[in-house]
Amino acid sequence: MPKPKWNLNIIYISERLQESLRPISRCAMTTVVAPMGYGKTTAVNWYLEERAKAETLKMIRISVYSDNLAIFWKSVQEAFARAGFDILRNYPCPTDAAGGGLLVDDLCHALADETPCYLFIDDFHLLTDKRASLFLCMLANRLPSNVHLIVASRDRFLPAAEAVRLGAKVYQIGTEQLRLNHTELAVYAHRCGTELSDAQVESLLYSSEGWFSAVYLNLRTLSERGVLPSRHSDIYATFTAAMIDPLPEPQRAFLAVMGLADEFTVEMAQYITGDGDAGQILSALTEQNAFVTRLPDGVTYRFHHMMKECAERSFQAMPAETQRRYWERFGLWYEEHRQYLHALAAYRKSGNYDALLRVIRSDAGILLASLKPEDVLNALDNCPAETLKAYPFAILVLMRRMFTWRQIPKMLELKALLLTAIGEHPELSAEERGNLLGECDLILSFLCYNDISAMSRLHRSASAQMSRPAISIQSSGGWTFGSPSVLMMFHRAPGAMESELAEMDECMPHYYKVTNHHGQGAETIMRAEALFCQGRFTDAHIELERAYAQVKD
């Protein structure tokens, strides 16, 4: 008999699953929750493609890659921009319920239309901040009728109380709808190119429990070796044996290295691997492997999580020097493309602290704020003091960040290191020395918070010494550390309001001078708040308009 022709990359959506997907178009929110490898993304993508064939619609696809809100928000902005919605391009990531409510209002207004719109968020389980799921519930409750939110996750994220409030607006799909039953497994195996006996189907169903990826891997092994793997084989070992080991050495090395990236382009792969044939390798992999996919933009690739896991295991088996060299390339790529968070992570793993401090100085600590304090502190503990002293501007940025994280002893330790570094470099010009010492005073002024007079003394000292704006404080960063009130930050004594307002008027110009007008108008806002609290609403309104005029330019 002729040998059956295998077609393992067949996309199979059972009739039962197709029926389960149909209600998506009638609900504001659909959750697709199942462990890795159940085909959540494949099922949703198939559904959206079928809808696109039947009607004109808009699609916004967002993938989550970590629990870092800054990175997630950037991907949200880019996804909306790619779909033709520029509303989020300069929108800050909301951090509280009020900001989330404003964002929901703006999104609903921008998306409302007669054209159906599907917003698909994939791998939501990686975003562990509980505020994110509450925001999605708020959004689902207020979405216009043409917009449908689809969220795929490995873990349940919808609080029970919110599910009750949403009622019929939310539709939930789980493992029962996604897993293959006996008949479906037999149909899938037939479409892939083999006929399994009832006993084989039953055995495979027992070992896989209908888990799509496990079924796929077992059939892959059957096509390569002629027998199904045993029930007790490790799934990752099976995956590696089926999907990675049979590949030529260049492709195995490519997977091991590029598996470290969340997403990548051919250009990035060529840079990281140093292989000019990266484009051909990717083409071959996407044609032969269902776990390497090209995203809808046509230029970006990603690996399935199982493929990434196995690829990372292969990378760990490489010599330490080889691993260091590749992490170094990742760091350089990310740094050159201003993806500073990824660059910091790569340089940490490569042990290149010179480059890590260079990135910290370039970023001015803005994205550094989204990292876990313990990760930064661990990196500082591993960074040689001599290397730190070679980057005084990075020390200033780190001092500022330590204050925000309430790591005051570490902040003062860095200050001592900065002063030592300045003392050990007499070749520094008087101007540069003044800039470093002045910015140090500026940062130390935060230790006197809520004491305008004490802060002003250090601001004046900084202003007298510095010839350029501070590096550690950017005008685009927040000024009130999240406080909604300037008055409540600086009013400290009963009966002292007028003197405090006068001190603010006197001290803020010195602060503005060395921070490129960071917080411009704070003293006017404080006066407006004071008048408001006194019931002088017309005067408060006048001061508020003055503040608008101050910040206009």
Beta 300-303 vs 292-294: how paired, if at all? antiparallel
Read off the tokens for 221: 């092994």
Which residues, other chains included, contact 257 with Cβ-Cβ below 8 Å and sequence gap of 6+? 272, 273, 315, 326
Q: Where are the alpha helices (DSSP H) in 366-486?
A: 373-382, 385-389, 392-404, 408-423, 430-444, 452-465
Give me the helix-helix angle, 278-288 and 266-273, nearest 10°: 120
Which residues, other chains included, contact 297 with Cβ-Cβ below 8 Å and sequence gap of 6+? 82
SS3 303: strand
Which residues, other chains included, contact 288 with Cβ-Cβ below 8 Å and sequence gap of 6+? 9
391 exposed, middle or buried (CB, 10 Å; 0-12, 13-18, 19+)?
A: buried
Buried b (16+ CB within 10 A) or exposed e, 87-119: ebeebebbeeeeebeebbeebeebbeeeebbbb
C-alpha span between 125 and 50 (Å, rounded): 26
One digit per residue, the tens of pLDDT, for the chain of length 553 reads 445 577 777 889 999 999 999 999 999 999 999 878 889 999 999 999 999 999 999 999 999 988 888 888 989 999 999 999 988 988 888 888 888 999 999 999 999 999 999 999 999 999 988 889 999 999 999 999 999 999 999 888 888 888 899 999 999 999 899 999 999 999 999 988 888 899 999 988 887 778 888 888 888 888 877 888 765 666 677 777 777 888 888 888 999 999 999 899 999 999 999 988 899 988 888 876 657 888 888 899 988 777 888 888 899 999 999 999 999 999 999 999 999 889 999 999 999 999 999 998 888 777 777 788 888 889 899 999 999 999 998 999 899 889 988 999 999 999 999 999 999 888 889 999 999 999 999 999 989 888 888 888 998 999 899 998 888 877 666 677 777 898 988 888 898 899 999 988 988 888 888 888 888 889 999 999 999 999 999 999 999 999 999 888 7
Structural contact between residues 487 and 527, judged by C-beta atoms closer than 8 angstroms: no
Main-chain dihedrals φ then ψ at residue 308, nearest 5 degrees: -60, -45
C-alpha span between 360 and 362 (Å, rounded): 6
CA 331 to the chain's CA centroid: 17
C-alpha span between 342 and 31 (Å, rounded): 29
C-alpha span between 146 and 148 (Å, rounded): 7
73: nearest Cα among 325, 285, 367, 318: 367
SS3 301: strand
Which residues, other chains included, contact 9 with Cβ-Cβ below 8 Å and sequence gap of 6+? 288, 289, 290
Q: Is the dihedral of CA 438, 441, 446, 451 positive or negative?
A: negative
C-alpha span between 518 and 413 (Å, rounded): 26
C-alpha span between 212 and 199 (Å, rounded): 19
399: nearest Cα among 413, 385, 386, 388: 413
C-alpha span between 223 and 18 (Å, rounded): 28
310 exposed, middle or buried (CB, 10 Å; 0-12, 13-18, 19+)?
A: buried
107: nearest Cα among 74, 131, 141, 130: 141
C-alpha span between 369 and 498 (Å, rounded): 35
